[in-house]
Structure 1
Amino acid sequence: MNSNQTTNEVDDMREEYDFANMEGCVRGKYAKEFSVNATTVLLDSDVAKIFPDSASVNEALRTLARVLSR
């Protein structure tokens, strides 16, 4: 987001929120599902320049897997 932009919208965000006293909030609601379905890896900066998002990394790994399985 460009901080130099001005808008006519009203900023109704508070400086701070107290989530402990908010109704309906559940801490870690999707944490278990995320940990089962996702693996987080850290790419070195030179690799991240070539593969900037998860889709490109997945495509490259699937291609490599196909080559190696022959």
Structure 2
Amino acid sequence: MKDEYDFANGTRGAVVESSGKTRITIFLDDDILAAFRERATQTGKGYQTLINETLRTSLSPESAPLTAEVLRKILHEELRAA
């Protein structure tokens, strides 16, 4: 290893992007952010990870609200099977 390096002709390389993730800036209410940070401390996860998990869960089909149309479909299927 040299004692000194000459970076006079150096160029900055591209920033390594993490796959599947995009950096964004959002505004959250102070109490919401505090709650996520508190929960992150309790679980040992990062608060941004918890926010991402919460958003993913809220977008999953299983968490969709039970609408009258969905209820009718379920009842129709169950009555037909009986």
Interval containing the TM-score (normalised by the shorter chain): 0.3 to 0.5
> What TM-score results when the alignment is normalised by the length of structure 2?
0.39
> What TM-score results when the alignment is normalised by the length of structure 1?
0.44
Q: Which has the larger radius of gyration?
A: 2
User: 1 or 2, which has the higher helix percentage?
Assistant: 2
